[in-house]
Amino acid sequence: MLPLLLLLVTAPGAPGLTSIDYVPTLTNRTLGGRTTASTFVLEQPRCVFGDAQRGAQIWLVVALAAAADRFDASAAPGTPQLAFQTFPNNTAYATLGTALANYPCPPRPGDITVLRVGSETACRDDPERPSCNGPLPGPGPYRVKFVAWNQSGPQAETQWSEPITLKIGRAPCCRRLPAQRRDWSLLQLWPGLQPSPCARQSRGTAARRDCTHSCTEQSHGVIARGGCTRDCTAGSHGRLHVRLHGMIARAGSVLPGWGSPSGPGPPSFPPVSPPAQQADNLPVMAGGRSTGMIVLTSLLSILFAILLACLVALLATWSSDSCGSGVIFSKPDAVTVKRYNTHHVYDQPAARL
Partner 1 sequence: MAKDDNSVRIFQGLLVLGNVVIGMCGIALTAECIFFVSDPHGLYPLLEAAENDDIYAAAWIGVFVGFALFSLSVLGIIGVIKSNKTLLLVYIILMLIIYAFEMASCITAATHRDFLTPNPFLKQMLERYQKLEADNNNDKRMSEEVTKTWNNLMLQNQCCGVHGPSDWQKYASAFRSMYSDADYPWPHQCCVMDARGSPVNLDGCKLGVPGYYNSNGCYDAISGPMNRQAWGVAWFGFAILCWTFWVLLGTMFYWSRIEY
What CA–CA distance (Å, rounded) separates 88 from 4?
28
Pick out residues in 38-57 that bind partner 1 (CB under 8 A). 38-39, 41
Nearer to partner 1, 20 or 223 (CB): 223
Q: Minimal CA–CA distance to 162: which of 70, 43, 243, 50? A: 43
Pick out residues in 7-36 that bind partner 1 (CB under 8 A). 29-34, 36
Which listed range, 17-25, 60-68, 74-82, 326-334, lies at the site for partner 1 (CB under 8 A)? 326-334
| Distance in Å, CB of 238 to partner 1, minimum | 14
Nearer to partner 1, 4 or 310 (CB): 310
Which listed range, 16-24, 84-92, 280-288, 339-347, lies at the site for partner 1 (CB under 8 A)? 280-288
Among 1, 101, 258, 340, interactor with partner 1 by CB under 8 A:
258
Pick out residues in 63-102 that bind partner 1 (CB under 8 A). none
Which listed range, 16-24, 98-106, 300-308, 339-347, lies at the site for partner 1 (CB under 8 A)? 300-308
CA-angle at 59, arms to 11 and 156, nearest 5°: 40
Cα distances (angstroms) measured from residue 19 to each of 92, 147, 263, 297: 18, 9, 23, 75
Give residues with Cβ within 8 angstroms of 198, minimum separation 6.
171, 173, 174, 175, 177, 215, 216, 217
The conformational region for residue 206 under phi > 0 = left, psi -120 to 50 = alpha, else beta, is: left
Which listed range, 12-20, 60-68, 92-100, 331-339, lies at the site for partner 1 (CB under 8 A)? 331-339
The reply to whether 129 sits near partner 1 by the rule CB under 8 A is: no
- Which strands make up the sheet holding 142-150, listed edge to edge? 18-19, 153-157, 142-150, 57-64, 92-99
The reply to whether 284 sits near partner 1 by the rule CB under 8 A is: yes
| Distance in Å, CB of 240 to partner 1, minimum | 8
Pick out residues in 139-168 that bind partner 1 (CB under 8 A). 167
Q: Minimal CA–CA distance to 190: which of 227, 215, 218? A: 215
The reply to whether 326 sits near partner 1 by the rule CB under 8 A is: yes
Q: Cis peptide before 104, with omega less than 30 degrees from 0?
A: no
Is the sign of the CA dihedral 309, 314, 319, 320 positive or negative? positive
The reply to whether 316 sits near partner 1 by the rule CB under 8 A is: no
Pick out residues in 169-188 that bind partner 1 (CB under 8 A). 169-173, 187-188
Residues in the chain: 353
Nearer to partner 1, 77 or 135 (CB): 135
What CA–CA distance (Å, rounded) separates 49 from 45?
8
Among 96, 228, 270, 272, interactor with partner 1 by CB under 8 A:
228
